[in-house]
Amino acid sequence: MIKIRLSRVGRKLVPLYTIVATDARSQRDGNYLEKLGHYNPKAKSEASLSNVNTARIKEWIGNGAQLSDTVRTLLKNNKISL
């Protein structure tokens, strides 16, 4: 099963995350199929999500991928409809 979830890419005490489509069995920071956006939890609320490719997320969902709870909440809070 394919999941759309966060993968951590930041250094210690400076978290940065990438929204990725990946196999549900792979590790959090392991291999991924496609990069779909970025999330910076330390940024102001308007700039926390950037480069989110909503068209590709919709395609992945149409092909059976599932959003993680965190990604679903982030998209909902930033008014990105799917």
pTM score of the predicted model: 0.90
Q: What is the pLDDT of residue 34?
A: 96
Grade residue 43 by pLDDT with cuts at 50, 70 and 90. Answer: confident
Q: What is the pLDDT of residue 63?
A: 96
Q: What is the pLDDT of residues 2-34, one digit of tens each?
A: 999 999 998 999 999 999 999 999 998 889 999
Which long-range CB contacts under 8 A does 12-21 form with residues at least 24 apart? 14/42, 15/41, 15/42, 16/40, 17/41, 19/52, 19/57, 19/71, 21/56, 21/60, 21/65
Q: What is the pLDDT of residue 82?
A: 78
What CATH number labels 2-77? 3.30.1320.10
Which run of H or of E encompasses 17? strand 17-23
